[in-house]
């Protein structure tokens, strides 16, 4: 895991993911910037996988305790984040039944 070629691979993934992120997020309608932030927050809580491994492997008391708190914090972000994003998006209604998306103002 610590070899330098793996680190370079990881850097490649990071840089390419940043490009995808910029291109995708740039197209998000400003209308939805608040739900976007709560959604990315929930997705970011995928850090829970690292915490789960720490708790599960139980290599030391410290790592298990830190991992436990980390799992609780991240899980509350996942649950709360998806929940509130859904509540917000449910509220966005169009005045016309078959309205064209208001997002074309940002789509290039």
Partner 1 sequence: MTAEFAGGQVVIELLYLIASVLFIFSLKWMSSPTTARHGIWAGEIGMVLAICGTLLHHGIVDYKLIGIALVLGTIIGVPLGNVAMTAVPQRTALSHAFGALCVTLVGSAEFYLRSPGISRFMMAVLSLEVILGGLTVTGSLMAAGKLQEILPQRPLTYKGQNLVNFALLAGAVVIAITLVRNPGAQSLFPFMILIALAFGVLLIIPIGGADMPTVISLLNGYAGLSAAAMGFVLGSKLLIIAGALDGSSGLILSIIMSKAMNRSFTNVLFGAFGQVQTSHAAAEEAKPVRSATPEEAAAILSAANRVIVVPGYGMAVAQAQHKVRELYDALTKRGVDVRFAIHPVAGRMPGHMNVLLAEADIPYDRLIEMDEINGDFPQTDVALVIGANDVTNPAARSDATSPIYGMPILDVDKSHTVMVIKRSMNPGFAGIDNPLYYLDNTLMLFGDAKAFVGGIVRELGGGHS
Task: Provide, rounded to whole angstroms, the least separation between the CB of residue 9 and partner 1.
Answer: 8
Task: Provide, rounded to whole angstroms, the least separation between the CB of residue 28 and partner 1.
Answer: 5
44-103 positions binding partner 1, by CB under 8 A: 44-60, 62-64, 66-96, 99, 101-103
1-20 positions binding partner 1, by CB under 8 A: 1-2, 4, 6-7, 10, 13-14, 17-18, 20
17-36 positions binding partner 1, by CB under 8 A: 17-18, 20-22, 24-36
Judged by CB under 8 A, the number of residues near partner 1 is 91
- Using H for helix, E for strand and C for coil, what is the string for the chain? CCCHHHHHHHHHHHHHHHHHHHHHHHCCCHHHHHHHHHHHHHHHHHHHHHHHHHHHHCCCHHHHHHHHHHHHHHHHHHHHHHHHHHHHHHHCCCCCCCCCCHHHHCCC
């Amino acid at each position: 895991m610590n070899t330098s070629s793996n680190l370079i691979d990881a850097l490649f993934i990071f840089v390419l993911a940043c490009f995808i992120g910029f291109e995708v997020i740039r197209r998000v309608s400003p209308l939805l910037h608040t739900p976007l932030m709560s959604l990315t927050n929930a997705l970011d809580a995928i850090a829970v996988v690292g915490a789960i491994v720490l708790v599960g492997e139980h290599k030391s008391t410290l790592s298990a305790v830190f991992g436990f708190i980390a799992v609780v914090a991240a899980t509350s972000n996942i649950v709360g984040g998806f929940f509130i994003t859904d509540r917000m998006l449910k509220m966005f209604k169009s005045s016309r039944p078959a309205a064209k998306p208001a997002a074309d103002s940002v789509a290039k």
